[in-house]
Amino acid sequence: MGPGPIDPLDRYSRLGCRRGDAAVAALTEHVGAEALVTENREFLRDVPDLPFRLLSSSDLLAELETRPE
């Protein structure tokens, strides 16, 4: 992995994310996660061009049920 999540943390903070939200987003990006599962409907919804998808738990379950084995 590249450098730590400090640069993304600064970027998410500049985009107006609260400190805790920015930290979660930066770490999610840093680890290269494809998606972040959250029930918080407001979480990062106004951040453009996220490098990961935001899913609710029901969205995730629906995707898993339709995924070929």
Nearest one of 9, 53, 48, 17 to 33, comparing CA atoms: 53
User: Using CA atoms, how far apart are residues 40 and 43, in angstroms rounded to an integer?
Assistant: 5
Model-level pTM?
A: 0.80
Q: Where are the domains of the chain?
A: 6-66
Tens digits of residue pLDDT in 4-23:
557 889 999 999 999 999 99
More confident residue, 69 or 33: 33
State how far the alpha carbon of 28 is from the alpha carbons of 3, 24, 60, 65, in Å.
14, 6, 16, 24
Instruction: Determine the pLDDT at residue 5.
Output: 57
Cβ proximity of 54 and 29 under 8 Å: no
Instruction: Determine the pLDDT at residue 3.
Output: 56
Q: Residue 1: pLDDT above 60?
A: no
Percent of the chain scored above 90 by pLDDT?
A: 75
